Amino acid sequence: MGPIRAEVEIDVPREQVFERIADLALRPSFTDHFLTDFHLTRIETTGVGAGARFRVKAPLRSPWEDTAIVEQEESVQIVERGSGGRTNRIANHTVWELSGGSGLLTALRLSHWTEPTNPIDRGVEVLSSGSYWQERAWREALRRLRDTLESDLPGAERIAVAGGNRYLTGIP
């Protein structure tokens, strides 16, 4: 399916936008309308190797997916790969690209696509109108991200790994 694309211009410095999207613990703050039940897969929530598992609110398909950051170019691009669908056999890819505009304006472009190899999975993707639904959801997520970053409100609530506080404080 896809790729689907969504774009938004955000009136804050590129580094600030990058910091928000690169931290998977903050991802639910702008995607929770269609990606729910986030679980981090490691204690470090940023950088190459950071990952999460979540539910996708989509018709007709298996809801669980995961993603992990596989490439990161500071303040320019984040590449994520994962899998989902029935028995985690559908590969998914997400690319976040940032570019500076005039002054503080940051252009954020998102591309997301899946690669179903099984004929049943391809059929489900076509029947569920996945591209249209996901494109709308990602556009809404980028609008929510823009509104949050431009509003000067306190930072978003972070999710954490269960037991991570004991690890970070050294409590056995």
Q: Could you write out the DSSP letters of every residue in 18-36?
A: HHHHH-GGGTHHHHTTTEE
Domains annotated for the chain, with CATH where assigned, are 4-169 (3.30.530.20)
**Strands of 51-56's sheet in order across:** 4-11, 105-115, 90-100, 77-84, 64-73, 51-56, 35-40
Whether residue 93 contacts residue 112, with contact meaning beta carbons closer than 8 Å, is answered with yes
> For residue 138, what is the enclosing H or E element?
helix 130-150
Q: Which pLDDT value is given to residue 171?
A: 55
Cα separation of 16 and 121, whole Å?
A: 38
**Count of CB atoms situated within 10 Å of the CB of 22:** 19
Q: Which pLDDT value is given to residue 60?
A: 65
Cα separation of 87 and 152, whole Å?
A: 41
Q: Which residues of the chain have pLDDT under 70?
A: 59-61, 101-103, 121, 124-131, 153-156, 162-172
Cα separation of 8 and 107, whole Å?
A: 6
- For residue range 106-133, what is the model confidence (pLDDT) as tens digits? 999 999 988 878 777 677 666 655 667 7
pTM: 0.85
Q: Is the dihedral of CA 45, 71, 8, 39 positive or negative?
A: negative
Number of residues written out for the chain: 172
- Closest-CA residue to 124 (of 62, 61, 82): 61
Q: Which pLDDT value is given to residue 45?
A: 93
**C-alpha atoms less than 13 angstroms from C-alpha of 113 in its C-beta half-sphere:** 9
Q: Which pLDDT value is given to residue 47?
A: 94
